[in-house]
Amino acid sequence: MRLAQLAPDVRVSAQNRVARACPRMGVGSSRRGKAAKASAAMATVAGLNVKQVPTKPYEGQKTGTSGLRKKTKDFMQENYLANWIQSLFNALGDEVKGQSLGLGGDGRYFGKEAAQIIIKLAAGNGFKKVVVGQDALMATPAASAMIRRRKLYGGLIMSASHNPGGPDNDFGIKFNYSGGEPAPERITDKIFGETTKVATLNMADIPDIDLSKVGVTKFGDFEVEVVDPVADYLATLSEVFDFGLLRSFLARKDFSLVFDAMHAVTGPYAKRILVEELGAPASCVKDGVPSPDFNGGHPDPNLTYAEELVKIMWAEQAPAFGAASDGDGDRNMILGHKFFVNPSDSVAIIAANAQACIPYFKGGLKGVARSMPTSGALDRVAADLQVPFFETPTGWKFFGNLMDAGKCSVCGEESFGTGGDHIREKDGIFAVLSWLSILAFANKDVPEGGRLTTVQDVAIAHWKKYGRNFFSRYDYEECADADANKMMDHLRAIIAAAKPGDKFGDFVLATADDFEYTDPIDGSKASKQGLRFIFTDGSRIIFRLSGTGSSGSTIRLYIEQYTADPSKLMLDAQEALAPIVKVALEVSKLQEFTSRTSPTVIT
Ligand code: VG1
Ligand code: CO
């Protein structure tokens, strides 16, 4: 590859090599205007030469629901990634000196180049060590586990999660703290502040690291350790689950499963954990080789984008259990034969069964939490178990404080996110092993060839006990920003004028607001977290704009309605929700504002 074809930031590191050969030659940033002519000054940090590369801020480096996500091409602009990383280190200040940093990503395009840039900046800013996954790979939950097990200062995750990858799609970066939790807003706000004034990049003058081999490389007092990206995570999961029980369940000839890694990061994890550790046949892992562009797909495990898995599970002859996870392995979709487990139900079902089926929770749950748009199914389990319950804004970063304070054991989001306090990220394989544990437990006395309790049986039994919260989410992806904002303003005006008792179709308003959250642990506030209409029968309609997209606005409409009527439990969710969906579309004038007649994704 010629130098000119490389990403500009990579060019800087290639130039570093030139600089080593000719130590007196000044190597400056070649970007934008005057900076191009400036030479990088040299400093010494921990026995390393560090170039102080002049840079200029980029606009809009503000993190959203989960880190900074932009088009890959944006990230490949000269110093774009480096600016954000330097801003993060500036925000953290002297605290980072002498610390160890974790690093890894979901294998998407530009990840390996990005890792080299991050390693040089970490060294140049005084970290003593970077622990990086082999080939720059590390699933998000695995990064969280590694940070916790190795007591790292924090970690950087290179991922845009469920967003498509490749040169024409998305890249992303996220910082997690020492508990393994996504940085809270007070830190992300500070990083953003730094991005608006970053002027110098502290780049250690070290060569690129060979990330393909496990091992330690030292430069002065700084070292890089390339690690197996599965090991720490596997160790954590083996402390959570009864692997013996799972092994004997998966050995049954009358049970079979398929796990769709969607060409994303969980392929190697599924092979190690499901196949090598738990004995499932290798053929159960579908699309298990990570690809830089997810084979051209959209690595979002839902009924729309995981259509191949859906086809397998809806065939007459199908495995008993199907699951998929997303780009970075934190999301999950659980399927039975011709049966979809809504993620809001999934977290409720896992919570209800955790104590009996999962050894890590055998002492009972400390509490449970869900994001605001997630259905109230979990609330009913919390009431039944008599454990504390919390409702947080969308995004995993709000669960960490609750878990650190010992107030939450299991939590989830409607967006295919499920987790426990074994780590501080949502965890796709945790959800899969939780479901397999529930099935193993339910079937432990069923002789081989007998009638196995299925995924659907588990869900129906749950609804019979608690009632069913019908739930659906409509996504209108990539709407024009102005149209989406106008619709939200229109809804805000309606909320301002609304009174309890107002009628919306057949639904009577109990309350309407823009969701606000005060963290019960540190008192921090998050406002404007979603417009909600709650009706007297407990039904809800909620509108939010996505904070993870990289172009245009994605409108999310969440709809929920509860029934305890046994004759209605088995209704199709879309049928059951049709009247309230109609109300949502009428009140929002969504079609008028966006000219969209149907959503791009229905969950
Ligand atoms: C979406 C989901 C949210 C999730 C976030 C990150 O955010 O709604 O629940 O935590 O993605 O998930 P938004 O702002 O687009 O609605 V992951 O797996 O993509 O990091
Ligand atoms: Co994800």
Superfamily of the domain at 233-466:
Alpha-D-Glucose-1,6-Bisphosphate, subunit A, domain 3 (3.40.120.10)
569 CA from centroid of ligand 2 (Å): 31
User: Which of 169-183, 515-529, 543-557, 571-585 shows the lowest per-residue confidence on average (mean pLDDT)?
Assistant: 543-557
Q: Is 413 in the pocket of ligand 1 (CB under 6 A)?
A: yes
* Confidence (pLDDT) at 349: 98
* Confidence (pLDDT) at 44: 79
114 CA from centroid of ligand 2 (Å): 19
pLDDT digits (tens, 9 = 90+) for 197-219: 999 999 999 999 999 999 999 99
Q: Is 330 in the pocket of ligand 1 (CB under 6 A)?
A: yes
Q: Which CATH architecture has domain 468-602?
A: 2-Layer Sandwich (3.30)
Contacts of 570 (CB under 8 A, 6+ apart): 460
pLDDT digits (tens, 9 = 90+) for 314-327: 999 999 999 999 99
Residue with tokens 């404007």: 528
Which residue is closest in CA terms to ligand 1's atom 5? Answer: 395
245 CA from centroid of ligand 1 (Å): 33
Q: Which of 13, 29, 66, 161 is catalytic?
A: 161
501 CA from centroid of ligand 2 (Å): 40
578 CA from centroid of ligand 1 (Å): 25
Q: Is 395 in the pocket of ligand 1 (CB under 6 A)?
A: yes
**β-strand partners of 224:** 130, 217
Q: Which ligand is nearest to the CA of 556?
A: 1
Confidence of residue 39 (pLDDT cuts 50, 70, 90): low
pLDDT digits (tens, 9 = 90+) for 322-355: 999 999 999 999 999 999 999 999 999 999 999 9
Q: Is 346 in the pocket of ligand 1 (CB under 6 A)?
A: no
pLDDT over 70 for what percent of the chain?
A: 93
23 CA from centroid of ligand 2 (Å): 43
pLDDT digits (tens, 9 = 90+) for 378-429: 999 999 999 999 999 999 989 999 999 999 999 999 999 999 999 999 999 9
pLDDT over 90 for what percent of the chain?
A: 83
- Mean per-residue pLDDT for 3-18? 35
State which ligand 1 atom lies nearest to the alpha carbon of 547.
14
Which residue is closest in CA terms to ligand 1's atom 4? Answer: 395
Distance, in Å, from the CA atom of 230 to the CA atom of 251, rounded to the nearest integer, reads: 23
* Confidence (pLDDT) at 520: 93
Q: Is 161 in the pocket of ligand 1 (CB under 6 A)?
A: yes
Q: What are the φ and ψ backbone dihedral angles of 43, each rounded to 5 degrees? A: -135, 175
* Confidence (pLDDT) at 417: 96
Which residue is closest in CA terms to ligand 1's atom 17? Answer: 161
Positions of CATH 3.30.310.50 in the chain = 468-602
* Confidence (pLDDT) at 5: 36
Annotated active-site residue 144? The verdict is no
State which ligand 1 atom lies nearest to the alpha carbon of 549.
15
* Confidence (pLDDT) at 48: 85
Entry pTM: 0.88
Q: Is 547 in the pocket of ligand 1 (CB under 6 A)?
A: yes
* Confidence (pLDDT) at 408: 97
List strand residue ranges (DSSP E) for 372-448, in order: 389-392, 410-413, 417-420
Contacts of 316 (CB under 8 A, 6+ apart): none
103 CA from centroid of ligand 2 (Å): 16
Confidence of residue 463 (pLDDT cuts 50, 70, 90): very high
Positions of CATH 3.40.120.10 in the chain = 3-229, 233-466
Considering Cα of 453, then 456, then 462, then 463, what sign does the dihedral take?
A: negative
Q: Is 331 in the pocket of ligand 1 (CB under 6 A)?
A: yes
Pocket test for ligand 1, best of 69, 185, 262, 415 (most atoms within 8 A of CB): 415
Give the CATH number of domain 3-229; options: 3.50.30.30, 3.40.120.10, 3.30.43.10, 2.60.40.10: 3.40.120.10
Token representation of residue 424:
């501080």
Q: Which ligand is nearest to the CA of 141?
A: 2
Cα-trace Rg, the chain = 25
Burial 538-547 (b: 16+ CB within 10 A, else e): ebbbbbbbbe
Of 420, 419, 367, 374, nearest to 393 by C-alpha is 374
Which residue is closest in CA terms to ligand 1's atom 20? Answer: 161
Which residue is closest in CA terms to ligand 1's atom 3? Answer: 395
